[in-house]
């Protein structure tokens, strides 16, 4: 009875991915618990802790000033290190004043939804897309995610142009196109030609370009190209809004640290204002600042991340192949888009969900059905492989066994 109307509208049933994540967390598989659940449904990077551990567990040189108020959009000393680091990742010179540090890339995206769109307006997203966007854009911000269905899972400028036209025909005001680059859930890396062609459409249509590059440092199969390199040739600086975070490339998903880079002074001003509602602990800022300042350590981490992801990808494809499971070739990220169409009872999303539940209950393996990502074709699943080869092998063997009993 206390709830406002908008509060009531935010009551949701919860994401099935999140629920499954915490269900399996209560009874996780390990060599000592061989009947436990294996979670390959959450995009977390489990390959880096041996490198992080010595830093995380060491004594920390926290000063009194570190315990008091900083700029609520990120301490200047942290943004300075971030700018240098992002400059390398994005292949561009980054001004620390253009950075707004907040509690994760979800916060970056929610802030952009508020700053760029009024409620009911639309952001176009290539589809299938990372399910979290529905909350990030659509939750409190009330912005419509309008899907741009891809042609055979390939991003094209045409697909974006068609979606913009459809949204407008449906009476929607379109404000932006948002790319996840590299992409989630399919692990695709966009080359410069593709990015340029898409950006040209976005600019020609008078829209803003949002690019979430949270997997920028996790491209193991193709060179990552940042949208920052399209400025100023294709995109005026003030119309590009870039996101990045420590969750994936650094394996620190629990730290919830994201950063927005925007060169529109007004969007930046609003983002700084809203950053106060999603700030990052100065404690964690100091820790990450000192990590980044150690350039050699950071370079090693990123190099190891790419090498380990490449090996893990090779392993998962091989093991899946042993059970006759095909994948869409991937080049980045912590996951692969696998083809379980042959095992659907019928080509429907009901059958896809039924298969998911059987794999969850019988194989005790959590992967994510394509419907979660608004896939247009039933039977595809996202499988996260950035964990030990043993874990992946055990999980895939269980999946194969359950599938063979179909």
Residues acting as catalytic residues: 130, 212, 214, 248
State the nearest-atom distance from the C-beta of 251 to its own copies, in Å: 7
By CB under 8 A, the residues from 285 to 314 that bind its own copies are 287
Output the 3-class SS for 359-374: HHHHHCEECEEHHHHC
240-245 sheet: strands from edge to edge: 99-102, 258-262, 240-245, 208-212, 174-180, 122-127, 144-149
Q: Is 144 helix (H, G, I), strand (E, B) or coil?
A: strand
Strands 258-262 and 326-328: unpaired
By CB under 8 A, the residues from 336 to 355 that bind its own copies are none
Out of 181, 184, 226, 253, name the contact with its own copies by CB under 8 A.
Answer: 253
- CA–chain centroid gap for 164, Å, is 23
Q: What is the distance between the alpha carbons of residues 37 and 19, in angstroms, rounded to a whole number?
A: 13
Nearer to its own copies, 67 or 300 (CB): 67
- CA–chain centroid gap for 357, Å, is 24
State the nearest-atom distance from the C-beta of 43 to its own copies, in Å: 10
Can residue 2 be called a binding residue for its own copies (CB under 8 A)?
Answer: yes
Out of 30, 33, 49, 192, name the contact with its own copies by CB under 8 A.
Answer: 49
Of the listed pieces 67-75, 178-186, 315-323, 341-349, which binds its own copies according to CB under 8 A? 67-75
By CB under 8 A, the residues from 138 to 197 that bind its own copies are 139-140, 175
Cβ atoms of 146 and 160 closer than 8 Å? no
By CB under 8 A, the residues from 197 to 226 that bind its own copies are 208
Can residue 237 be called a binding residue for its own copies (CB under 8 A)?
Answer: no
Q: What is the distance between the alpha carbons of residues 130 and 298, in angstroms, rounded to a whole number?
A: 27
Nearer to its own copies, 223 or 254 (CB): 254
Can residue 357 be called a binding residue for its own copies (CB under 8 A)?
Answer: no
Out of 41, 104, 187, 217, name the contact with its own copies by CB under 8 A.
Answer: 104
- Give the number of C-alpha atoms closer than 13 A to the C-alpha of residue 340, restricted to the C-beta side: 34
Out of 283, 294, 322, 390, name the contact with its own copies by CB under 8 A.
Answer: 283
- CA–chain centroid gap for 381, Å, is 16
By CB under 8 A, the residues from 105 to 124 that bind its own copies are 106-107, 110, 114-119, 121
């Amino acid at each position: 009875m206390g709830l406002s109307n908008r509060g009531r509208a935010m009551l949701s049933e919860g994401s099935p991915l999140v629920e499954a994540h915490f269900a399996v967390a209560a009874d996780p598989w390990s060599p000592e618990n061989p009947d436990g659940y294996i979670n390959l449904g959450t995009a977390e990077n489990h390959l880096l802790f041996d490198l992080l551990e010595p830093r995380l567990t060491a004594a920390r040189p926290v000063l009194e000033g570190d315990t008091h108020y900083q700029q609520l959009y990120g301490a200047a000393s942290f943004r300075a290190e971030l700018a240098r680091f992002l400059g390398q990742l994005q292949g561009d010179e980054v001004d620390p004043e253009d950075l707004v540090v907040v509690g994760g890339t979800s916060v970056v995206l929610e802030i952009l939804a508020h700053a760029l769109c009024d409620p009911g307006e639309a952001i176009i997203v290539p589809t299938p897309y990372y399910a979290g966007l529905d909350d990030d854009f659509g939750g409190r911000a009330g912005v419509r995610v309008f899907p741009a269905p891809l042609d055979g899972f390939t991003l094209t400028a045409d697909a974006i142009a068609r979606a913009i036209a459809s949204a407008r025909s449906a009476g929607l005001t379109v404000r932006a196109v948002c790319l996840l680059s590299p992409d989630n859930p399919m692990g695709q890396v966009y080359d410069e030609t593709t990015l340029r062609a898409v950006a040209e459409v976005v600019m020609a249509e008078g829209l803003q370009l949002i690019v979430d590059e949270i997997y920028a440092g996790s491209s193991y199969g193709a060179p990552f190209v940042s949208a920052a390199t399209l400025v100023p040739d294709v995109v005026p600086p003030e119309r590009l809004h870039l996101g990045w975070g420590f969750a994936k490339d650094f394996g620190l998903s629990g730290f919830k640290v994201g950063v927005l880079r925007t060169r529109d002074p007004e969007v930046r001003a609003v983002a700084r204002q809203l950053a106060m509602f999603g700030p990052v602990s100065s404690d964690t800022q100091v820790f990450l600042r000192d990590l980044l300042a150690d350039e050699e350590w950071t370079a090693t981490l990123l190099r190891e991340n790419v090498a380990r992801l490449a090996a893990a990808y090779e392993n998962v494809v091989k093991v899946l192949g042993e059970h006759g499971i095909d994948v869409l070739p991937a080049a980045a990220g912590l996951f692969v888009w696998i083809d379980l169409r042959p095992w659907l009872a019928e080509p429907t999303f009901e059958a896809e969900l039924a298969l998911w539940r059987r794999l969850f209950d019988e194989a005790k393996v959590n992967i994510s059905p394509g419907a979660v990502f608004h896939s247009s074709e039933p039977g595809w699943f996202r499988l996260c492989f950035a964990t030990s080869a043993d874990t992946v092998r055990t999980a895939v063997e269980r999946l194969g066994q359950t599938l063979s009993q179909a």
